Amino acid sequence: TKEDFDLAAIYVSDAQYNRNIYFDTSPEAVRLYLRYNHWLPQVLLYFFILLDLSLAVFEDPAVIPLPSWATMLVELLCLLVFTIRIVHYAKVIPREKFWKDAKNICIIVIIVLTLVDMIIYGSLKASDYDGVRWSRVLRPLLLVNVTEGRQLSHVSQVSHLSHPSQLSHLSQVSHPSQLSHVSHLSHPSQLSHISHLDTFTDLRRAFRSIRNALPQIFYVFLLFMFSLLIFSLMALKLIGKRGLTTINGSPYFTNYLEIIFDLYVLVTTANSPDIMMPAYNASYFFAIFFILYILINNYIFMSVFLAVVYNNYKYHLKEEVRQLVRAKRHKMVRAFAVLQDQREGREPAVNQANWNQLVRLVQPDAATLTESCWSKVAFVQLADLLNIEVITLKSRPHPLQSLCPNLYQSAPSRLLCKLVQHRAFVIVYDLIILVNAVFIGLDEKNTLIANSEWAFLSLYLLEILLKLYVFEPRAFFSKHSFWNWFDTIIVISALIATIVNSSMTSAGIYTNRQILDIILILRVLRLIRVVDSIKRFRTIINTLIRIGPAILTFGQLILVVYYVFAMVGMELFKNKVKFYGNSSDPAKAYCGNVLLKGTDFAQLNYCKNNFNNVVSSFILLVELTVVNQWHDILPLNASHRNIFVAFVLEAFFVEY
């Protein structure tokens, strides 16, 4: 029946994309589940989460101030979308499963708390009190809990089309048993590494894996603290008794807590060598103390931290991969059970007609597979088979071949194809790029150089068109052809921007600085392409592209953490440190805060490092993460002895 096929198709597609939802199998629920998995609501959901997160730009303290009723209206809309999505989900899966999942409860609690916060804030605002939008801290948790995503990204990377020889000897895939053979033929080096390159792209799993590593990290941290205390005790007893002074004349290493703090900062090497100099000036032997300290606490402990985190991550990743493979097989077995022919005395199997209908449902453009019936073992491999789309795309003939075969197969056309696929073609374009680089470096006010831009643009455009003539367009723009996409987007954007700019100039309109900037960035980005021509570089870059999804997940994770810190930081520190730009206000010299008068922070003109809006806050948090000169950035006095738990304590020191 139609319903059986729908159900089987869902099982196969869940297995294919590693979805793990225990949906109801009633026809009603199956129909809802199909709609739930549609790409449109998923993209919409992602959009509304980003919209909800980006509200921080418009809320007080704002980058672009909007009235609070406007932002709250948008937030209500977002909450409505989230509610619809969770209600939809609740209808798809069995009731008891829904309430057992902490994820769902978390989403509901966030929605309710946000509503409560908005009501309180609104009524406070109406009665002219200042409220705090504390529920904003909860927003990134939606990103963690709502987004479903593929839980693992299998690597099926195929190097891009400038080297088509790798894929040329591939014929149509005709049977799953050929799968291992085919993939071995096409890109053995890449497919053989699949098990090593599986990476989390699911944010929740990434968080879970970090949480699981926490106890072990905690013990390493305790050991580190123990080492810090022991070294500080030794410093107090050995150096503190010598009556040494720092460069300011204050006593050196006489207070145990100050020593602990100074040595803690020394781990980040931020106060080195200053913290060592007084002792070193007194005796060579004290240098050994500091070198030992840095060796043990910076090098060894940081390595152990890394090793513990990485080991745990790998262990949990393996565990999750094992679970996913099990779940995948389980789903394919269920799909098989729905479609199998039960004939007496024979093994159950799926016949050709059923198979074809199923494949058409799951992936309409997949290669057709010719086999009279499918055993259970062969059937279970279907999900993996459907994922090697690239290979089937590659083997298609060029559309011009079908449209005008005579012309496309003519001698000049075939010569052109040979030329474009020749190594010299790549070398010529690399030389063009190098010349272009020199022209970019030269002064652009020279008219010759300004006009040369048109020549370069046409050359790049010609390259893309030639490649499209030679290679099958759908294969050229396949999902994994990073450099083809890169080239095309950069060149087309540059073309549009250059045309807009020159038409504005010739029309006598004032040249927009931002358009010029964009043209310039695009011009410089085009130079990167040269990297792909050198084989060793390509290997490195391909590796980076392959771990891209994992880096993106890590980026989301960082975003969640930064967002929470930014929200808290803005409530605590907004307008404590002010940036005056080009104004001549005398308060500019101390960032508008008398407590900062004469500090390094104000003298080095760091005033824009503040929590006055969400953009500043994010940039400040990046600086704090990247740089270890905390004592320079955090607006504390020069002795910088109190940054230990920097964000929490700062609130007390500067103002409260």
Residue 608, contacted partner among a second copy, Na ion, none, CB below 5-8 A by kind: a second copy
Using CB under 5 A, pick the residue from 628, 630, 637, 646 that binds Na ion.
628
DSSP secondary structure string for all residues of 342-411:
--TTS--BEEHHHHHHHHHHH-TTSPP---SEE-HHHHHTHHHHHT-HHHHHHTSPPHHHHH-HHHHTSH
CB of 602 to Na ion, least distance (A): 21
Q: Which is nearer to Na ion, 84 or 302 (CB)?
A: 302
Q: Out of a second copy, Na ion, none, which partner does residue 464 contact, by CB within 5 to 8 A per kind?
A: none
Query: Please, which residue, 466 or 521, has the CB nearer to a second copy?
Result: 521
- Minimum distance between the CB of residue 209 and Na ion, rounded to whole angstroms? 30
Cβ nearer to Na ion, comparing 254 with 628 = 628
Q: What are phi and psi of 153, to 5 degrees?
A: -105, 105
Nearer CB in complex with a second copy: 234/428:
234
Interface segment toward Na ion; rule CB under 5 A; list 177-185, 379-387, 406-414, 626-634? 626-634
Query: What are the angstrom distances between the C-alpha of 168 and each of 187, 391, 425?
Result: 11, 10, 19
Return d(Cα 550, Cα 556) in angstroms, integer: 10
Tell me the chain's radius of gyration from C-alpha atoms.
31
Closest CA to 534 of 433, 394, 453, 466: 433
Query: 192 touches which of Na ion, a second copy, none (CB within 5 to 8 A by kind)?
Result: none
Q: Are 410 and 390 in contact (CB under 8 A)?
A: no
Whether 574 and 604 have beta carbons less than 8 Å apart is answered as no
Contact 591, 635 (CB under 8 A): yes
Total residues found in the chain within this entry: 656
Instruction: Give the shortest CB-350-to-a second copy separation in angstroms.
Output: 44
Least spacing, CB of residue 225 vs a second copy, in Å: 12
Is the CB of residue 55 less than 8 Å from the CB of residue 70? Answer: no
Q: From the list Na ion, a second copy, none, which binds 76 (C-beta under 5 to 8 Å, kind-based)?
A: none
> Judged by CB under 5 A, how many residues of this single chain contact Na ion?
1
524 contact choice in Na ion, a second copy, none (CB below 5 to 8 Å, kind-dependent): a second copy
Least CB distance to a second copy at residue 555 (A): 9
CA distances from 402 to 125, 409, 464, 470 (A): 69, 11, 21, 14
As measured in angstroms, the least distance from the Cβ of 633 to a second copy is 7
Q: For the segment 508-567, give every residue that binds Na ion (CB under 5 A).
A: none
| Interface contacts to a second copy, rule CB under 8 A | 216, 219-220, 222-223, 226, 230, 233-234, 237-238, 247, 256, 269, 272-274, 277, 280-281, 284, 287, 291, 294, 298, 300, 304, 437, 440-441, 517, 520-521, 524, 527-528, 531, 536-537, 540-541, 543-544, 551, 579, 581, 604-606, 608-609, 615-616, 619, 622-623, 626-629, 632-633
CB 140 within 8 A of CB 555: no
Reduced to 3 states, what is the DSSP secondary structure of residue 251? strand
What's the closest the beta carbon of residue 606 comes to Na ion, in angstroms?
A: 16
Residue 281 contact among a second copy, Na ion, none, beta carbon within 5 to 8 Å by kind = a second copy
Residue number with CB closer to Na ion (533 or 628): 628
Q: Answer whether 151's CB lies under 8 Å from 18's CB.
A: yes
Partner from a second copy, Na ion, none contacting 615, C-beta within 5 to 8 A by type: a second copy
Shortest Å distance, C-beta 539 to a second copy:
9
**How far does Cα 93 stand from its chain's mean position?**
30
Please, which residue, 381 or 628, has the CB nearer to Na ion?
A: 628
For a second copy, which is the closer residue by CB, 22 or 285? Answer: 285
Instruction: Produce one character per residue of 179-212: b if its CB has 16 or more CB atoms within 10 Å, e if not.
Output: beebbebbbeebbeeeeebbbbbbbbbbbebeee
DSSP-derived letter for residue 153 is E
- Nearest to a second copy of 50, 627 (CB atom): 627
CA 323 to chain centre: 24
- Minimal distance, residue 268 CB to Na ion, in Å: 7
Residue 376, both tokens: 């259970």
CB 378 within 8 A of CB 176: yes
CB of residue 467 vs a second copy: minimum separation in angstroms?
Answer: 24
Q: Which is nearer to a second copy, 428 or 528 (CB)?
A: 528
* Interface positions with Na ion (CB under 5 A): 628
